[in-house]
Amino acid sequence: MAKKAGLNLYWVLIIICALFLIYYMEVPGGTKRLRYDEFLTRLKQDQVTEVLVGATVIEGSYKPKDANAKGKRTFRVNYLPTDNRLLDNLRQMCEARGIAFSYQQPSALVSNLHWILLIAIAVFFWVMIVRQMRRTDTTVMSFGKSKAKISMEKDTKTSFDDVAGCVEAKEELEEIIQFLRSPKRFQILGGKIPKGVLLIGPPGTGKTLIARAIAGEAGVPFFSISGSDFVEMFVGVGAARVRDLFNQAKAKAPCIVFIDEIDAVGRQRFAGIGGGHDEREQTLNQLLVEMDGFESQKGVIIIAATNRHDVLDPALLRPGRFDRRVVVDAPDINGREDILKVHTKGKPLADEVDLTVVARQTPGFSGADLANVVNEAALLAARRNGKQITSRDFEKAVDRVIAGPERKSRVISEKEKEIVAYHEAGHALVNEHTEDADPVHKVSIIPRGYGVGGFTMSLPEEDRYLNTRKELLARIIVLMGGRAAEELVFDEISTGASNDLERASTIARAMVCTYGMSDKVGPLSFNDGSREVFVGRDINRDHSYSESTYQLIDDEVKRIVETCMEAARTILRDNTPVLHAIAEALKVHETISREQLMIVLKGDKLPDPAPRPPARDQINEANAGDGAGDDKDPNRRPGGETGGLSTAGA
């Protein structure tokens, strides 16, 4: 309706302007338009025969220059009378020359028409400006208003039943819910509920969902705002918004204030290096003051979420502000199964689908990754016009999330296909002959994503939170298996191992610099500069080791990688016939499972694949063109885990 009213106002303005133009500009046919000075000249030369004075125009007739010309000539002069003496002088001039003179007394409306028109136009633009100021949130008066979204008790329908995979986090937060429900129970004993709770965890683990579930369980209003909403280009706006947010929260107490990505406004204040961001620092200072001023009896609890708690200002983390820190980490196998049950609720699953198997196939996946897997599986089932989601759909969905969609439309030469086949066969064979390596789950030479010519997926038998030295060395040996296979078979190396080399070097350097797993360097930890530098805290740190230690670290990293490379070469030289058999099976089947790999390792031949028409999900799944090399880390396992997947660029 507002849009329609705006259009009506525009039409009113257009009609007013049109009437104005018609009134002032319309000239009848055959009428000559004269300037006022031209009219006076003709009048003095006795060429005018009749004069009619109106409100804003002078009309009349005049003699043509040609004396023989017939007909009457008329004229019109536009004028705005500012003084009555002008009309008196004009009347006297006409009477002295015997010219017929008449005067039409205008009404007050007509005489002041031009002023009315100007006032109408001014009022129109004022109404439009006021309406625009009310409609948008960019006015000066709204700069200091909080942009928090408020969900009242009836709107917050999320509960802990919708949150899975983080049992410990829910137990930690249960206390806050009980306080919001019955605060007197704690106050009688002199207990004070934490003023602030900081949720720490990698992206996608459900920090925002947990905060909303707390509000839903407690049945209190929920204020939600992002840290970046406080900071503006105008100094002082962020602090004003913080004050406004906390005033609103106090008015609706008990309630929950949730600040997402608090590191955007709560970063550590600069240490005098290049000057700080005054607006961000003022906003942080105001936030610290408001949190200090809160009384626990008010029933206002602040929950913040971040995945960069290491850059937060220490004043924000001290007791009395964010008293409690809750870690929301990637779920374990039981948590992943519970999350899958939540996301598959209401979806038609085939009888053979075992969510425990899917959970085992997704180590390191966050809740958002698992939701994406379920959604991809549903889309794959719909693409083939299926009525149910099968285990095959889940398996293909996991592959898509990890390595990207299949690119069967990408045409590669037989030579490249053979290189990729031997590369992945080298990974698989070395993996099976290396102690402490995770078992192979699947080997494929189908291009996926960008720059991934194939992959070898290995899955741990159980979730691991610690890695031994032998396990890290086994991982490097498996990574070097692809390059070693290329050297052995083709006596040449390709660019397909670039990502393997990068990951192997990263693991080896972490063993030397972070984990103290080098005998020559010793049980020491060195800042190797690979961690992201935070200005104001890290840039002034001096390295506490010499150039000779630098050289020692480089030598040790090189030694570890070369030793693992030689171990991979030895395994492949001792099992060359099996390497050829795995590569031939890959060239025929393109993808082989662990069961098929075991058959080949025993020396048996796989049956030829049955011919089948191309599936709908294999046609034009991705038309990204030919990859020119490996992505920087195209196979990063969701949740930050990079182990268990070796690739070959093609």
- Nearest CA-CA partner of 648 in 486, 435, 431, 504: 486
pLDDT in tens, 198-253: 999 888 888 888 888 887 787 788 888 888 777 766 667 778 888 888 888 888 87
pTM for the complete prediction?
A: 0.65
What would you report as the CA-atom Rg of the chain, rounded to the nearest whole angstrom? 40
Q: Which residues contact 605 (CB under 8 A, 6 or more apart)?
A: 581
Cα separation, 378 vs 505, in Å, equals: 38
pLDDT in tens, 270-323: 654 444 456 778 888 888 888 876 555 567 888 899 988 888 888 888 887 888
Cα separation, 92 vs 87, in Å, equals: 9
| pLDDT tops 90 at residue 557 | yes
| pLDDT tops 80 at residue 639 | no
Cα separation, 199 vs 113, in Å, equals: 68
Q: Nearest 5°: phi and psi at 317?
A: -100, 0
| All domains in the chain, ordered by first residue | 2-113 (3.30.720.210), 149-327 (3.40.50.300), 333-401 (1.10.8.60), 412-533+542-648 (1.20.58.760)
Cα separation, 551 vs 560, in Å, equals: 14
Q: Regarding predicted confidence, which is higher, 411 or 245?
A: 245
Cα separation, 103 vs 51, in Å, equals: 8
Tokens 């290396």 belong to residue: 434
Strand order in the sheet with 196-200: 149-151, 222-226, 255-260, 300-306, 196-200, 324-327
Tokens of 530: 């690979």
Q: Nearest 5°: phi and psi at 261?
A: 50, 60
Band of pLDDT at residue 650, cut at 50, 70 and 90: very low
Q: Would you say the C-alpha torsion 306, 309, 313, 316 has a positive or negative sign?
A: positive
Three-class SS state of 77:
strand
Amino acid (1-letter code) at residue 512:
V
Band of pLDDT at residue 378, cut at 50, 70 and 90: very high
Q: Regarding predicted confidence, which is higher, 261 or 269?
A: 261
Known catalytic membership, residue 414: no
pLDDT in tens, 13-38: 677 666 666 555 544 555 677 777 78
pLDDT in tens, 87-119: 777 777 887 787 877 766 655 555 566 667 777
| pLDDT tops 50 at residue 165 | yes
| pLDDT tops 70 at residue 170 | yes
For the chain, what is the mean pLDDT? Answer: 77
Beta bridge partners of 226: 260
Long-range CB pairs of 501-506, under 8 A, 24+ apart, other chains included: 501/561, 502/633, 503/479, 503/633, 503/642, 504/476, 504/479, 504/480, 504/561, 504/564, 505/557, 505/561, 506/530
pLDDT in tens, 576-624: 999 999 999 998 888 888 888 999 888 888 887 766 545 444 434 433 3
Cα separation, 422 vs 445, in Å, equals: 10
Catalytic annotation, pick one of 395, 406, 424, 556: 424
530 CB burial (10 A radius; 0-12, 13-18, 19+): exposed
Cα separation, 53 vs 33, in Å, equals: 15
